[in-house]
């Protein structure tokens, strides 16, 4: 049985395309019609587009958002990032 753990068990004949989704917990600070302000444990680059899943256990609202800013802050002795997202009509503007 030599080589048993090193041998290929399965290989796709045609590579598949996909999308990796990484979820991060956030704390919602404020929300308007065009912007969302949150605290996160992970930074995100300005201009990155993603989906924010906001809601309760029963219903989740997926909102397309674009990062407008990312500011490191210390909260209760831990490093966090204050993220400002454009949503809805706010995504059409190029805010600084």
To the question of pTM greater than 0.85 for the whole model, the response is no
| Reported confidence tier of residue 59, pLDDT bands at 50, 70, 90 | low
Q: What pLDDT does 34 receive?
A: 92
pLDDT computed for residue 49 by the predictor = 92
Q: Where are the domains of the chain?
A: 26-92
Does domain 26-92 correspond to CATH entry 2.40.10.220? yes
With the C-alpha atoms ordered 44, 45, 46, 48, is the resulting torsion angle positive or negative?
negative
pLDDT band for 72, please (50, 70, 90 cuts): very high
Q: Taking residues 49-74, report their average pLDDT.
A: 85
Q: In sequence order, which residues have a C-beta less than 8 Å from that of residue 39 and are 6 or more positions away?
A: 26, 27, 29, 73, 75, 80, 81, 82, 83
Give the confidence band of 16 by pLDDT, cuts at 50, 70, 90: confident
- What pLDDT sits at residue 25? 86
């Amino acid at each position: 049985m030599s080589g048993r753990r090193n041998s290929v068990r399965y290989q796709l004949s045609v590579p598949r395309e996909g999308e990796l989704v990484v979820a991060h917990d956030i704390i919602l600070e404020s929300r308007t019609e065009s912007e969302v302000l949150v605290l996160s444990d992970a930074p995100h680059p300005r201009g990155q587009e993603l989906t924010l899943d906001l809601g309760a256990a029963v219903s989740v609202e997926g909102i397309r958002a674009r990062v407008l800013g990312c500011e490191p802050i210390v909260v209760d002795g831990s490093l966090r990032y204050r993220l400002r997202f454009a949503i809805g009509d706010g995504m059409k503007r190029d805010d600084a």
